[in-house]
Structure 1
Amino acid sequence: MSETQPEAVTLVVRHQVRPNHVPGYETWLRRIIATANQCPGHLGVDVMRSWRPDVAQFTCVLRFTSLEQLQNWIRSEQRRQLVAEVVPLLCDGDQLEIAQGKDFWFVPETVQAPPPRWKQSCITFLVILPLSLLMPLLWQPLFQLVPWLGGYLLSNALITLSIVLLVVYLLMPMATRAFGVWLRSHDHERNDPESGYSR
């Protein structure tokens, strides 16, 4: 004997996050996902990220067994408080869309995957190689002036720290902008199983 089961209901939440607030948003996102997981009727959540020069977009797809249970989550005090916390990090507020059935069972076409890993590796190599050659030379005069700084462990720690700070805060953002078109030209690779995206 079989009974007709109601189709799942989907909540799509889109947040545009200011780039300098992405780490804080990621922390908040983990909290709200954990809270949603405890709600009756919750079937799971998928998070998709896309990046532009001035904004990071997060698309969260939550599934519930019924419209009533989904609305209970939307109206819940826990969600209201969490959304109030995150609004200052967003460019365009809390954007919600409800879809019946499996309209968002797969990734929406409009969401862009991050650049493939081989492209990210190429840019990282191009940024780090010159620094790995240049930084020891730049530090050498100080190591000669202050011999105890030139020890194996301390000198390598200082050189590595310099490279990491320059890469993360200065050179990698510049390289990402400079190679932006090339990094984004990977639509034909979106069927790559490692990317986590499929059409």
Structure 2
Amino acid sequence: MNQTQAETVTLVVRHQVRPSHVQLYEAWLRRIIATASQCPGHLGVDVVRSRQPCVAQFTSVLRFSSLQQLQSWIDSEQRHQLIAEVEPMLRTGDQLEIAQGKEFWFMPEATQTPPPRWKQACVTFLVILPLSVLVPLLWQPLFHRIPWLGGYVPSNVVITLSIVLLVVYLFMPMATRLFAAWLSPTVDEDRS
């Protein structure tokens, strides 16, 4: 087995669905996921949904054990029939992207609207406020034991670094998942 066949391969499928067809698309999506899961080498699928005023974006991330097995799925008659069935519901057709490796990071489409700034500010405030109170208290015992570390500049560097790392890597990802529905812009907000 060569290097290419030994690596996990990821297929990213992007579909822009007209709002009036979202329920039909969801039913179709369940069928194609079930069909793909029966293919040799299929390792799993994740679906990311996002809605815009005029279109719903679905990003499906499928993983296969090898490029050959992925290509077999792409070329399969079952997939071609299912894609032909869904094409009338799509605005831009079937968009495919293949990446090799165990992980695939992707950015949302550039057309996605970021959350309103005031909502971003609210979530950021809710994350940073408790940390700005608790983190200095947690460092105090160490600052008392090591006086030079408790000085104005070193203590502020340690506290600020702690808060930034906690916000970026731990609490902000959790907060954005928790408030995801609220952060999404609504049609009314887009018009204002």
Give TM-score, length-normalised by structure 2: 0.57
Q: Distance in 2 between matches of 1:48 and 1:184?
A: 25
Trace 1:134-153 onto structure 2 (pairs within 5 A).
Answer: none
Q: Distance in 1 between matches of 2:20 and 2:118?
A: 21
Distance 1:17 1:185, change over 3 A: farther
Deviations 1:83-107 (A, max 9, x none): 0000000000000011011341x5x
Structure 1 gap segments, 5+ residues each: 113-179
Aligned to 1:46, what secondary structure does the other structure show? strand
Q: Distance in 2 between matches of 1:90 and 1:184?
A: 33
Distance 1:15 1:195, change over 3 A: same
Distance 1:54 1:98, change over 3 A: same
**What is the CA distance between 1:13 and its match in structure 2?**
0.3
Q: Which amino acid is 1:69 matched to?
A: Q
Partner residue, 1:67: 67
Trace 1:43-192 onto structure 2 (pairs within 5 A).
Answer: 43-104=43-104, 106=105, 108-110=106-108, 182=116, 185-186=119-120, 191-192=173-174
Aligned to 2:6, what secondary structure does the other structure show? coil
User: Is the CA contact 1:14–1:95 (under 8 Å) kept in the aligned structure 2?
Assistant: yes
User: Is the CA contact 1:15–1:58 (under 8 Å) kept in the aligned structure 2?
Assistant: yes
Q: Distance in 2 between matches of 1:192 and 1:61?
A: 22
Structure 2 gap segments, 5+ residues each: 125-170, 181-192
User: Is the CA contact 1:50–1:111 (under 8 Å) kept in the aligned structure 2?
Assistant: no
Q: Please give the root-mean-square deviation of Cα atoms over the aligned residues, in Å.
A: 3.2
**What is the CA distance between 1:50 and its match in structure 2?**
1.2
Deviations 1:124-158 (A, max 9, x none): xxxxxxxxxxxxxxxxxxxxxxxxxxxxxxxxxxx
Q: Which amino acid is 2:24 matched to?
A: G
Q: Distance in 1 between matches of 2:13 and 2:7?
A: 19
Distance 1:191 1:82, change over 3 A: same
Aligned length: 126
Q: Distance in 2 between matches of 1:190 and 1:23?
A: 32
**What is the CA distance between 1:78 and its match in structure 2?**
0.5
Partner residue, 2:19: 19
User: Is the CA contact 1:41–1:64 (under 8 Å) kept in the aligned structure 2?
Assistant: yes
Distance 1:103 1:22, change over 3 A: same
Q: Distance in 2 between matches of 1:191 and 1:55?
A: 26
**What is the CA distance between 1:7 and its match in structure 2?**
1.6
User: Is the CA contact 1:12–1:97 (under 8 Å) kept in the aligned structure 2?
Assistant: yes
Q: Distance in 2 between matches of 1:184 and 1:32?
A: 39
User: Is the CA contact 1:48–1:111 (under 8 Å) kept in the aligned structure 2?
Assistant: no
Identical counterparts, % of pairs: 62
